[in-house]
Every structure is written in C-alpha cells, then in structure tokens.
Amino acid sequence: SELVSSRTLVGARRCLSGDVGGMRKTLASGYEMPLFSLGTWKAKKGLTQAAVETAIKAGYRNIDTANDYNNEEEIGQAFQNLFNEKIVTRDDIFVQSKLWNSNHRSEHVEADLDQTLKDLQLDYVDMYMIHWPQAAPSYGKQAATRVDGAIADHYSKNPMFPLDDAGYYCADMESHYVETWQKMEELVDKGKVKSIGISNFNKAQIEEVVSVAKHPVSLLQNESHVYLQQKDLIDQCNFRNIVFQSFSSLGSGDTNYASYASPTGTIPLKDPHIASLAEKYKKSPAQIMLRWGIQRGISVVSKSVTPERVLSNFDIWDWELSEEDMKSFDQLNCGWRHLLWGEVSHHPDYPFKDELPYNYVLEKCSNFAPGQGKQD
C-alpha cells in the first residue's frame, strides 16, 4: 500500500511499500534522483566508509560527497565493497559530488572531477555541482585537490584552502562562475557527469546561470532547515524546474560553524517545538525534521557516522506529519544561517553579503580543516 499521501510531494514518485531508496524525483536532465541523501561533510576519516556501507545496506541510494571533505577515498572503498558483495550495482546508486572553489577556472575544472572519480573509483558521477559561486579560497594558478591538502595553508603549498601572507583566504578575482558552468557542461558531453547543479548560490546568481545554461541546472543544494526554510528560493527552483536540496537539514547540530548564535537561543535539534512534535509522534527530533523536509517536496541531505542514527534518520517513510503540524513549522523560520563563512566575503561572487552584520570586517581563517568534523 502507499505510505505517503499524494498531497505531500509535487512531482515526486511516491514511495511504495518495499521501494528501496525512498521517494525520487526526475531531474530536468531526465535522470531520476532519490530525494534522501547521506551527507559526508564533516564525516571523519576512519568512520566514513562504515557509515556509507551501513547506509546503502539500509536502503539509502543517494550519497553526497565532495573532494574537499577529504574522505572520498573511503567512500570509494565502501562502493567497491558493496559492489563486490553484490549489495548494489553502480546503476543502483546516485552519487553527487562538487567542484571546489580553488578550481573554478576552466582549465582546472576537469582536474577536480578526475581526482574525485579516482578517489570514488567510478567512471562518472550522477550529479556534479559548483560548490560555491565565489572562487575563494583560491589562488587561481593551478588546480588544488585533496592530494594537495584539504586544509588551509599558505598559497605557496597549493592547498585547497590557500591563505595569503597575512592569514586571510586568497581570492581569485579573475574567475566567475558562468565560465565555470560552461566547462561543467563539457563534462556532461564527455560522459563523466550525468547531471550538473549548483550549491550556495543566491537568487540572482541562479538566474544568471539559468540564462546561459545549455545543459539544465538540475539541482540547487543550499543550507536549509527549520530555522532557515528558504521558501522564496524553493519557489524559484520549482519555477525553474530545479530540484532544491537542503544541506545541514538538522541545523548541523553541535558541529555547526555558526559565527552568530541562533536568535531562538538554541539549535534545531534542541528546539522545544520540535521536541513536542517528537513526543507526539513518538519519533526523534531528527526524524521529525527530515520528514518535514520530505513533505515539503524537497531533497534532504542528512549526515551521521553513528550507525544507529544512520538507520533511524532513514526511518521516515511509513508515517507523515499532519497538515496542521506542517503549518506549525512556520513559527520557527527565523532566518538563521549557520554557514555564513564571512571569511570569503571579499570575493565579488560571495552569495550572502546581505546577511553579513553591519560594518562587518573581514576575518582571517580560523578553521584549518573546514570539511572535517567530530563524530556525531
């Protein structure tokens, strides 16, 4: 029997009993994408492989990665183990990765993807996104990938997060994301990428890419959770036939990089309204928020390396939130963005200038391994 009512998802294929991977949507590119993705940002090396294997065996079919997370090698090994054990085939899984900021110049784009493909031990990825619109941190002189160092260091060492002599992030002011996008389209033509998308872009930047795109913008991945609901951005994506995908779907918990505390005085996982709904439905706060995201009709990325949480986060398909309770989330939409990353705001393509505090002064790098976090 159907487990999800038709009103909950516009344009999504409804999840049927025993339907592995959960709900799916057809992208503008024509390919089908599972809406629920295992995130690997801030997943520590040594824990990521087991998390991916646990997730796939539990029914996940979408894995979100990036070269700068410094763990794609482990994910690649997980894939090989799963293929060898005949748990899944390559065609069964949807793998999405991202082009890092240091490689926006057209001559550096393919090198970034090639390192990802080598690490993942794959011939292609299903989705490839421009990770951020701004070419910062970037030195711009040569490609920088995981093997060069997924850390912040002096630009002379060619790391992925290059710093100038004073300790500020370098910015490649001669690079703009439209030229980057056009190079990404060539990767589709070569068969190395099935679909392409963007991440952390604002509304005007989305429109600029859409206006020049020969291959459709199929996905927008941006921070979104109950405190940052992105309603206008989701409407824009629906209008442009772009699937919206949330990262930090749980507000990023205690591993968030927030420069400014939430105006609620807490984080989404500890919010009292979420707690009351969790009690009402006999679910965890994480399950409540992930179910809310899916019922909004968007794609969600949820990261954990703890096996029990990997399993419980995905256990959201045989129940739903009432219409009244869905509406109650409106009261939480306070506009709190945890990943503002003002340290790269000196680049003209930085997307969130209107969210920086008045009289914001550029800060030096303070996190020297930005993609790597503690266990959760």
As annotated, the active-site residues are 69
Q: Round to whole Å and give the CA distance between 305 and 210.
A: 35
Question: 268 forms bridges with which residues in the sheet?
Answer: none
The Cα-based distances of 31 to 193, 239, 355 in angstroms read 11, 19, 35
Phi, psi (5° rounding) for residue 298?
-105, 170
Token look-up 């710093």 returns 163
Q: Coil, strand or helix: which one is 163?
A: strand
Cβ(84)–Cβ(118) under 8 Å? no
Q: Coil, strand or helix: which one is 35?
A: coil
Q: Which amino acid is at 160?
A: M
User: What is the 3 state secondary structure string of 218-247?
Assistant: EEEEEECECCECCHHHHHHHHHCCCEEEEE
Q: Round to whole Å and give the CA distance between 353 and 84.
A: 47
Cβ(111)–Cβ(192) under 8 Å? no
Taking each helix axis from N to C terminus, what angle separates 106-120 and 177-190, rounded to the nearest 10 degrees?
Answer: 50
Nearest of 162, 61, 149 to residue 102 by alpha carbon: 162
Phi, psi (5° rounding) for residue 316?
-130, 15
Token look-up 């420069």 returns 259
Q: Round to whole Å and give the CA distance between 200 and 209.
A: 13
Q: Which amino acid is at 230?
A: Q
State how beta strands 94-99 and 193-199 pair: unpaired
Q: Which amino acid is at 260?
A: Y
